[in-house]
Structure 1
Amino acid sequence: MNNKTEKRQLLLIWEISNSLFGINIKHCKKEKKGVPLNPIPTARPFIKGLVNLRGETSVVCDLLMLLNYGNFDEAGGKPEVIIKLQYVNKNISFLANSVVEIVSYQEEELQEASSYLSFEECEFINKLYDSEYGIVKLIDIEKIMLL
């Protein structure tokens, strides 16, 4: 196996209201369609509820609200998919319109988000990837797990 092949990684790309987001596939534990949310009445506004995915409970968040892009409901989006991410022993899930693709990439293909995005956006997005579908904003898994 050559050196370039060894450095390739897989990126899960999903869509929320015409924006593309992604994360290294090793952090994606599940994607599930049509799962009911259980609301949490006193939760922070970006928390949409709890979901049970195969016996594991996960908090479901509105990524658009976290990034100050509005919110999933106002964007006219219908949550078709819940994407569950895991890092160390923590998990968090996000509403999404659809999973777009899983693509292979090299670290050298990523660009620093801080060169193109606002400070607020960079709180949870650390890299950008130029895919055939458009610019993908990569979630900073370490920061998102601090919520």
Structure 2
Amino acid sequence: MSNIYTIPNGNPFYLCGDWNSRVSDIEDYIRGIDFLPERNVVDFTPNSYGDLFCEFLSNINCYILNDRNFINNDFTFVSTRGSSVVDYCVVPYEKLSFFQNFEVIRARTLIEENAAVGSYDPKHIPDHSLLCWTFVTPGNSTSRVRTINDR
């Protein structure tokens, strides 16, 4: 994670993946200094990694894109053992406006909408969801970004 400090200030970037952190409604910014839209939390069970993760984000002036600027918010891990939010997209505070239309799409939904019935074994559907968002640059160029963690 120390490589985060090598990214030049002002450059947009994102870090996305399975952080094994459940942040619940823990603040990922410094209240009174940073002014961000409130997160619309779906997982209200924090863990100790969530505290550390949010402290780290505050220190590097980044925040969680999940639950903000979204068009569909959902759990990022769904299995027979339960559901949680452990996959996050992290972006720099000053580039909030570049990241729009955040969406969580469950793997099962993707397969059911795009694969022929019977062409897949339900036991082999990933338990992590797809994270998507639109990246808008100042020159009006847009890109749809999709990530997924294969496990």
Q: Does TM, scored on the shorter chain, surpass 0.5? A: no
Structure number having the greater strand percentage:
1
Structure number having the greater helix percentage:
2
* Larger relative contact order (CA 8 Å, sep ≥ 6): 1
**Could you tell me the TM-score, scaled by structure 1's length?**
0.29
